[in-house]
């Protein structure tokens, strides 16, 4: 009896061509940006020779330095807060059997992934504007909370996946040895969960660092992050300095994502 062969999409006519074309359309603009970040001329689209001058200009630009520091502060706080909330949510939804309303809880946690980001940004703008009027506070706290709320589902997914792949027998053994719930979590669950927690925090950090829409809606005057600073530069005289900043941000993002892949990679 002949065995029925599984369907292989790679055998379809034109698959290779479409795949190559998709990669070219996706990465050719990024490659062009990286190449022109080393442009020695003043134009963003005319090659003037190889030079690192725009990296030096960007590094010495006080506005870029302030925006970079502000972006890192917001991203670090947002990753810590969102990862903490995501870890508690993951523990509450995976360390027990099915319960009434579980699907609704999943939907609420993952809501920022399903709703268009601009809708979330408008909602956060309305909410925090009311708080600003009531309190008079206009600091970075609003941006940190807004980014944290948006990053929760991104941190939740790798933590939940890690919990679902963990054997509960060690936790059960700890309970049998009269360990309290906190001791079980501190000495058994958390060390096993740590790779997922770190991966979730790294993913949340990247999402916060690269965010534009929510930042643009929620920020107050003088609170530009690096992405919103670059957006503002696009409305003015455009120089290869923007290419250099973009390339540096891209390199940082790629490095963190590579580390994320290694952390979440399933090991034998």
Condensed to tens digits (0 to 9), the pLDDT of residues 130-171 reads 988 888 888 888 999 999 999 999 999 889 888 888 877 888
What is residue 1's predicted lDDT score, i.e. its pLDDT?
Answer: 47
What is residue 75's predicted lDDT score, i.e. its pLDDT?
Answer: 92
C-beta atoms surrounding 243 within 10 Å: 23
Q: How far apart are CA 44 and CA 39, in angstroms?
A: 8
Q: 39 - beta bridge partners?
A: 50
> 132, 142 in Cβ contact below 8 A?
yes
CATH of domain 61-264: 1.10.3720.10
Q: Which residues of the chain have pLDDT under 50?
A: 1, 267-268
| Domains of the chain by residue range | 61-264
Q: How far apart are CA 124 and CA 143, in angstroms?
A: 10
Distinct helix (H) and strand (E) counts, the chain: 13, 0
Condensed to tens digits (0 to 9), the pLDDT of residues 11-35 reads 777 788 888 998 899 888 888 888 8
Q: 50 - beta bridge partners?
A: 39
- Verdict on whether the full-model pTM lies above 0.85: no
What are φ and ψ of residue 50, in 5° steps? -75, 135
Token pair belonging to 95? 């360390």
> 168, 188 in Cβ contact below 8 A?
no
């Amino acid at each position: 009896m002949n065995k029925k062969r599984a369907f292989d999409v790679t055998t379809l006519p034109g698959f290779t061509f479409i795949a190559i074309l998709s990669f070219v359309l996706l990465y050719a603009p990024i490659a062009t940006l990286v190449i022109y970040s080393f442009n020695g001329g003043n134009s963003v689209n005319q090659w003037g020779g190889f030079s690192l001058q725009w990296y030096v200009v960007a590094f010495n630009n006080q506005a870029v330095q302030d925006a970079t520091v502000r972006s890192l502060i917001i991203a670090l706080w947002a990753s810590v807060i969102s990862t903490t909330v995501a870890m508690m949510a993951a523990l509450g939804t995976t360390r027990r059997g099915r319960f009434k309303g579980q699907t609704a809880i999943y939907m609420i946690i993952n809501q920022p992934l399903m709703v268009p980001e601009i809708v979330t940004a408008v909602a956060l703008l309305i909410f925090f504007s009311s708080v600003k009027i009531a309190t008079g506070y206009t600091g970075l706290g609003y941006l940190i909370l807004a980014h944290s709320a948006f990053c929760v589902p991104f941190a939740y997914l790798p933590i939940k996946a890690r919990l679902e792949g963990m054997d509960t027998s060690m936790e059960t053994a700890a309970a049998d040895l009269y360990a309290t719930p906190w001791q079980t979590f501190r000495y058994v669950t958390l060390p096993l969960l740590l790779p997922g927690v770190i991966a979730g925090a790294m993913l949340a950090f990247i999402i916060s660092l690269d965010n534009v829409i929510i930042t643009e809606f929620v920020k107050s005057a003088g609170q530009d992050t690096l992405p919103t600073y670059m957006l503002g530069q696009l409305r003015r005289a455009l120089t290869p300095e923007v290419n250099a900043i973009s390339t540096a941000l891209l390199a940082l993002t790629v490095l963190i994502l590579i580390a994320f892949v290694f952390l979440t990679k399933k090991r034998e």
